[in-house]
């Protein structure tokens, strides 16, 4: 009871005792706010004290008057105040005699469970307040010892009303602190503060947030005395307890609270070592693991690894034999951490989780621990639902069985919230079930979701309500029974319900996913305009969030795939609405968003100057805090915080856009104005069931060609076969390349698409999408009346080049690179390539100003020369001549890393120069051409839908070059040397990169052996190399004949392509 209220009761009682006879009613009338059950109990307590002092008349009068007030209030308490009074004195006497022995005290408490209620709390308050004020100090100290013991005993007593017991304990501690002051009894004061903190931590009454603040304050008070030096064990105990309170804390930033908790646990472990305090060490390790599992700061993957390590530590002491219950608890917690683990193989992590849950169930049996058994069954079911190993059908059956087990204990009556949670989980399992009739499974799922919504109401559990509405919508969308139109309408209604809670401000990722699903439902009902607006809102949110939606690699990949599906659906919707310009703009925005994401994820610390990084970090912190305020319902003015959140994101994005090499938006009209009447752009876009080609010229809206679903399937099959053959049977791949490209041309309907180009078009720019970047589209075979081989680039006198996207092409066209007389070359850096360039680099060098060019040859061609590291600052810079070079030439080995495309690169004398390093450290502000005379330099990351920008050509374009020549497969050094020599010869004559390369490719393709012999004497190759090559050609001539074309097959010449500006 509140101390001020008790004081008010006592003052009112004093007035009643001393007023003239007959004025009692008037006094009560003036103090009606105090006339309640509490007053009656305090009057009874005071009457007992008066009687003990020998004033029987006053005591009897007060007792009788209290009875009258009780009757007036309708009180029919089974226990009278006098009985509470006598019981309290008896308990205190028993505690005093037994020195607080629970074996003696608890039977007395058990025999008087009817008195363990608020009445006892009030009696404690009154009796302690008056008694301690009247007795001698020594006796007061003795009584205080008993009060503290009573508080400890009743706080831990397992029977009776838990809420009332805790209130009684709190009353005991508060009154004890009147005697145990910090100055007079520092150790006892600290002990009582610690005990009071424990009671507040567990308190049921009052605001939970207030109780935890009181607990934290009391623990911190205790630590003023319990220092590490003076009381190491008590300090460690209090640090652990304080950490628990911080973990549960509601006020303050959750992230800060968890950091405080982790620090306190780590403090405790300084004393609680495994050797000295094994059990306490294990307990704290388990608690610390839980804090790491929930940690917000730091890398999620690192936090989970720390959690798993701590759980394993705890299990060194918590063995099954010595501590079976703690062992089971820790096994369950460890299983949860393995389920969430990011590092390691996901399949292995889930197997470990399942094994740990099964371990826990050896102790957590239904009979001995029904609640823990049910919780573990629910968790185990979730693990089976997500399991990768084993048969999916079997795993889902196990999951359903475990959820049904959990529901035997988690009934609606006994555990309504847990019942609803398991109903929702069970519904998801039924939705995915393979066995049984699909229609029946979906009906079961819908029934379970609706069950969950009986508890998960919008008012009581808004977030769970929204989640279940979203899940129910999916079930309705897939439902087989009932009218399809009705089911889709129900799905739409449920998605709209979910969006009431999943707002852009509070739950941005859920907001996006729900909008996406709602848009799909609108698509299915052919409500195209509604689908358009819904997808548009989702995309705007995705683009505003940027790196906020990035997390672990696996999560990032899944989200990226979802967002790409979202853009695909928007492109489909725009085309349904006959809006080709918007369809193209969204296709471009999809590509640009992926690039922005990659840069922010990999290179933010190198793209942005330090001062900008600092500003961005502050903005990110502010965004996170506002987001958390809204999400946790703490925002005092929701609209104001939401508005500020949007402003913060806008400021962050604008600041990033000043330094990013590409923005997240694209507009068609400004791009179209950059094209002349002779140029056309052919951009592919691969959707979920079809692929499109946008044909863009300077004259009109884009023309769109769309494939059939059958052609889409053929394209996927062809691409898989091509890539598998290339990797597993390279000789077969080489022999079948011409035929394969003919098939690709037919699948892509390239000849039909060419008919859509205007007659004025003599230059073509190709923008592939996803895995189409792998193939030499510029050399697709084209049928002609003369039956001689004709390739796509043969049809365009102005050349055929590639661009990553329209927006990057637009940016490249603004880069002015008029000069081409400074060369920087990397020549044969590895021993297996020494002299394998056939003198090509030396010949090429002659076209450039010698004094301003740089060639790093053989052992000097190192990464450390290109990117030296400052010994003092450890900062990485680039070779000084890279910044001024007009042409950068690599004649070396290249490689593509399919597991980690950002680690793809070029092999130099002392290591590999990777895609990530080029993006981060190269600044080629004067470079017109980067030539990658190496293997597989043009292959992007085609495994992940969102990562096609992870390639060497794109990295050099981002670094500042306007053009890159790269390769699409492993090329031979000899033919590469010939092609490069001819390419640079033509480049000197034509001054046009695309035309020079295509002329060189045609020359390599069509030239006879005697033609090569004639060319050698005119080339810039050294005389020694001319002699060597003439001898080689002479041998071929004897073997194949003078008119043979040794390099006619496309695998020799069509791997090379120009990406970028083109000219």
* CB contact at 8 A, 41 and 63: no
pLDDT band with cut points at 50, 70 and 90 for residue 319: very high
Helix/strand/coil for 1052: helix
Determine the pLDDT at residue 656: 73
User: 700 with 707: CB under 8 angstroms?
Assistant: no
H helix or E strand, kind and range, residue 413? none
Query: What is the spatial distance between Cα 36 and Cα 26, in angstroms, rounded to a whole number?
Result: 16
Look over the chain and give the mean of its residue pLDDT values, rounded to a whole number. Answer: 89
Q: Which range has the worst mean pLDDT, 316-325, 458-467, 646-655, 835-844?
A: 646-655
Helix (H) or strand (E) holding 889: strand 887-891
Domain boundaries of the chain, sorted by first residue: 1-77, 504-663, 668-807, 817-1004, 1008-1046
pLDDT in tens, 901-959: 778 899 999 999 998 889 888 989 899 999 999 888 888 776 655 555 678 898 898 88
3-class SS of residue 907: strand
CA dihedral 578, 581, 583, 587 (to 10 degrees): 170
The percent of residues above 70 in pLDDT, for the chain, comes to 93
φ/ψ of 506, rounded to 5, equals -85, -45
pLDDT score of 635:
63
> Which CATH number is correct for 504-663, 3.30.870, 1.25.40, 2.60.40, 3.40.50?
1.25.40
- Asked whether 549 and 542 are in contact (CB, 8 A), the reply is yes
395: tokens are 């795993």
State the CATH class of domain 817-1004.
Answer: alpha beta
Q: Of 306-315, 738-747, 872-881, 941-950, which range is least confident?
A: 941-950
User: How far is residue 326 CA from its own chain's centroid?
Assistant: 31
Distance CA 917, CA 903 (A): 9
How far apart CA 825 and CA 823 sit, in angstroms, is: 6
pLDDT digits (tens, 9 = 90+) for 75-91: 555 567 778 888 999 99
Give me the pLDDT at residue 555, please: 47
Region 297-306 average pLDDT = 92
Structural contact between residues 307 and 293, judged by C-beta atoms closer than 8 angstroms: yes
pLDDT given for residue 551 in this prediction: 45
Tell me the pLDDT tens digit for each residue of 838-883. 888 888 999 888 888 899 999 999 999 999 988 888 888 899 999 9
Tell me how far apart the alpha carbons of residues 934 and 864 are, in angstroms, rounded to a whole number. 20
Looking at the predicted structure, is the pLDDT value of residue 636 above 70?
A: no
User: What pLDDT, on a 0 to 100 scale, did the predictor assign at position 623?
Assistant: 74
Report d(CA 363, CA 380) in Å as an integer: 15
Residue 634: per-residue pLDDT:
62
Q: List the beta strands (DSSP E) in 958-1035.
A: 963-967
The residue with greater pLDDT, 252 or 231, is 231
For residues 9-35, average pLDDT: 81
* Residue 43 near residue 66 (C-beta atoms within 8 A): yes
So what's the pLDDT on residue 83?
Answer: 84
Say if residues 818 and 785 touch (Cβ distance below 8 Å).
no
Which of 158-162, 261-265, 595-599, 1037-1041 shows the lowest mean pLDDT across its residues? Answer: 595-599
| Ramachandran class of 160: left when φ > 0, alpha when ψ lies in -120 to 50, beta otherwise | left
First to last CA, the chain: 86
Q: How far is CA 508 from the centre of its chain?
A: 13
**Dihedral over Cα of 479, 481, 485, 491: its sign:** negative
- Residue 509: pLDDT above 60? yes
- Comparing 39-43, 926-930, 985-989, which segment has the lowest mean pLDDT? 39-43
The predicted model gives 224-237 an average pLDDT of 97
CB neighbourhood size of 914 (10 A):
21
Q: Which residue has the tokens 């109780």?
A: 211
Mean pLDDT of the 563-583 span:
92
Per-residue pLDDT band at 281 (split at 50, 70, 90): very high
Interhelix angle 56-73/3-18, rounded to 10 degrees, is: 120
What is the share, in percent, of the chain residues with pLDDT greater than 90? 60
Concatenating the DSSP letter of every residue in 843-885 gives HHHTTS-GGG-EEEEGGG--HHHHS-B-TTT--B---TTTTT-
Does residue 276 surpass a pLDDT of 90? Answer: yes
**At 543, is the pLDDT very low, low, confident or very high (cuts 50, 70, 90)?**
confident
Give pLDDT, residue 948: 55
Tell me, what's the pLDDT at 949? 64
What mean pLDDT comes out for the span 593-597? 63
CB 959 within 8 A of CB 924: yes
- What sign for the dihedral angle of Cα 392, 398, 401, 407? negative
pLDDT tens figures, 341-371: 999 999 999 999 999 999 999 999 999 999 9
pLDDT band at 553 (very low <50, low <70, confident <90, very high): very low
* Secondary-structure class of domain 668-807 per CATH: alpha beta
């Amino acid at each position: 009871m509140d101390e001020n209220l008790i004081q008010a009761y006592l003052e009112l009682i004093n007035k009643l005792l001393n007023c003239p006879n007959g004025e009692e009613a008037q006094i009560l009338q003036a103090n009606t706010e105090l006339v309640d059950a509490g007053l009656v109990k305090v009057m009874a307590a005071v009457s007992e004290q008066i009687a003990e002092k020998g004033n029987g008349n006053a005591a009897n009068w007060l007792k009788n008057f209290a009875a009258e007030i009780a009757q007036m209030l309708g009180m029919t308490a089974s226990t009278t105040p006098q009985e509470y009074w006598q019981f309290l004195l008896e308990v205190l006497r028993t505690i005093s005699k037994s020195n607080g022995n629970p074996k003696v005290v608890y039977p007395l408490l058990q025999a008087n469970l009817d008195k363990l209620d608020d009445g006892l709390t009030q009696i404690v308050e009154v009796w302690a307040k008056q008694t301690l004020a009247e007795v001698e100090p020594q006796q007061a100290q003795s009584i205080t010892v008993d009060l503290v013991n009573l508080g400890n005993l009743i706080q831990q007593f397992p029977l009776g009303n838990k809420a009332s017991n805790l209130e009684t304990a709190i009353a005991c501690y508060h009154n004890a602190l009147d005697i145990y002051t910090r100055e007079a009894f520092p150790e006892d004061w600290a002990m009582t503060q610690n005990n009071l903190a424990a009671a507040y931590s567990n308190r049921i009454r009052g605001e939970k947030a207030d109780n935890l603040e009181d607990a934290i304050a009391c623990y911190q008070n205790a630590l003023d005395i319990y220092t590490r030096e003076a009381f190491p064990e008590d300090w460690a105990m209090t640090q652990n307890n304080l950490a628990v309170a911080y973990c549960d804390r509601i006020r303050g930033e959750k992230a800060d609270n968890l950091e405080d908790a982790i620090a306190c646990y780590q403090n405790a472990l300084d004393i609680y070592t495994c050797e000295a305090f094994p059990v306490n060490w294990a307990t704290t390790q388990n608690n610390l693991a839980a804090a790491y599992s929930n940690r917000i700061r730091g890398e999620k993957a690192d936090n989970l690894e720390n959690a798993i390590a701590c759980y394993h530590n705890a299990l060194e002491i918590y063995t099954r034999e010595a501590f079976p219950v703690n062992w089971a608890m820790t096994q369950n917690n460890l299983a949860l951490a393995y389920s969430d683990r990011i590092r390691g193989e996901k399949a292995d992590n889930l197997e470990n989780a399942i094994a740990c849950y099964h371990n826990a169930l050896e102790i957590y049996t239904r009979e001995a621990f029904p609640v823990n058994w049910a919780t573990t069954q629910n968790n185990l079911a979730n693990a089976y639902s997500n399991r990768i190993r084993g048969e999916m059908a079997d795993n889902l059956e196990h999951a359903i069985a475990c959820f049904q087990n959990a529901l035997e204990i988690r009934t609606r009556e006994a555990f309504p919230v847990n019942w609803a949670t398991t109903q929702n989980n069970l519904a998801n399992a039924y939705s995915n079930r393979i066995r049984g009739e699909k229609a029946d499974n979906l009906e079961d799922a819908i029934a379970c979701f609706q069950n969950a919504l009986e508890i998960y109401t919008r008012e009581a559990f808004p977030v769970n309500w929204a989640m279940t509405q979203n899940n129910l919508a999916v079930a309705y969308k897939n439902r087989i029974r009932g009218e399809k139109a009705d089911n889709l309408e129900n799905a739409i209604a449920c998605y709209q319900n979910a969006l009431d809670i999943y707002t852009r401000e509070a739950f941005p990722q859920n907001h996006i996913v729900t909008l996406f699903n709602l848009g799909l439902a609108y698509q299915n009902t052919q409500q195209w305009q509604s689908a358009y607006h819904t997808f548009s809102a989702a995309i705007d949110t995705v683009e505003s969030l940027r790196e906020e939606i990035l997390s672990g690699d696996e999560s990032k990949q899944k989200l990226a795939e979802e967002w790409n599906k979202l853009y695909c659906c928007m492109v489909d919707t725009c085309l349904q609405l006959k809006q080709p310009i918007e369809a193209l703009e969204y296709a471009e925005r999809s590509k640009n968003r992926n690039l922005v994401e990659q840069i922010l994820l990999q290179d933010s610390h190198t793209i942005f100057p330090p001062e900008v990084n600092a500003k961005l970090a502050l903005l990110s912190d502010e965004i996170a805090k506002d987001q958390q305020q809204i999400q946790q319902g703490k925002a005092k003015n929701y609209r104001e915080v939401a508005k500020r959140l949007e402003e913060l994101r806008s400021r962050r994005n604008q600041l990033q856009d000043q330094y990013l090499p590409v923005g997240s938006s694209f507009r068609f009209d400004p791009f179209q104005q950059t094209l002349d009447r002779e140029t056309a752009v052919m951009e592919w876009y691969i959707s979920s069931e079809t692929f499109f080609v946008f044909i863009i010229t300077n004259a009109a809206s884009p023309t769109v060609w769309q494939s059939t679903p059958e052609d889409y399937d053929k394209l996927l099959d062809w691409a898989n076969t091509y890539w598998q053959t290339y990797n597993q049977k390279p000789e077969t791949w080489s022999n079948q390349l011409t035929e394969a490209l003919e098939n690709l041309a037919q699948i892509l309907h390239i000849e039909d698409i060419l008919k859509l180009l205007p007659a004025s078009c003599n230059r073509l720019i190709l923008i592939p999408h996803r895995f189409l970047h792998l193939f030499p589209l510029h050399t697709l075979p084209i049928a002609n009346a003369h039956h001689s081989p004709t390739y796509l680039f043969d049809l365009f006198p102005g050349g055929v080049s590639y661009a990553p996207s329209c927006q990057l092409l637009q940016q490249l066209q603004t880069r002015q690179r008029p000069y081409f007389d400074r060369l920087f070359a990397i020549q044969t850096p590895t021993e297996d390539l020494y002299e394998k360039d056939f003198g090509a680099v030396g010949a090429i060098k002659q076209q450039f100003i010698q004094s301003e060019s740089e060639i790093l040859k053989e052992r000097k061609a190192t990464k450390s020369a290109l990117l030296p590291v400052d010994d003092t600052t450890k900062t990485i810079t680039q070779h000084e001549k890279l910044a001024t070079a007009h042409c950068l030439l690599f004649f070396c080995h290249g490689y593509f890393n399919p597991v980690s495309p950002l680690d793809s690169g070029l092999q130099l004398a002392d290591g590999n120069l990777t895609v990530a390093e080029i993006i981060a450290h190269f600044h080629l502000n004067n470079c017109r051409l980067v030539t990658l005379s190496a293997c597989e330099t043009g292959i992007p990351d085609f495994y992940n839908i969102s990562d096609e920008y992870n390639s060497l050509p794109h990295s050099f374009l981002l670094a500042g070059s306007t053009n890159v020549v790269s390769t699409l497969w492993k090329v031979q050094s000899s033919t590469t040397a010939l092609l490069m020599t001819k390419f640079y010869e033509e480049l000197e004559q034509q001054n046009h990169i695309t035309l020079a390369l295509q002329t060189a490719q045609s020359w390599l393709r069509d030239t006879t052996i005697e033609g090569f012999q004639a060319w050698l004497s005119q080339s810039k190759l050294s005389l020694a190399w001319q002699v060597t090559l003439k001898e080689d050609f002479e041998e071929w001539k004897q073997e194949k004949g003078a008119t043979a074309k040794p390099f006619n097959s496309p695998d020799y010449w069509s791997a090379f392509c120009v990406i970028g500006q083109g000219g």
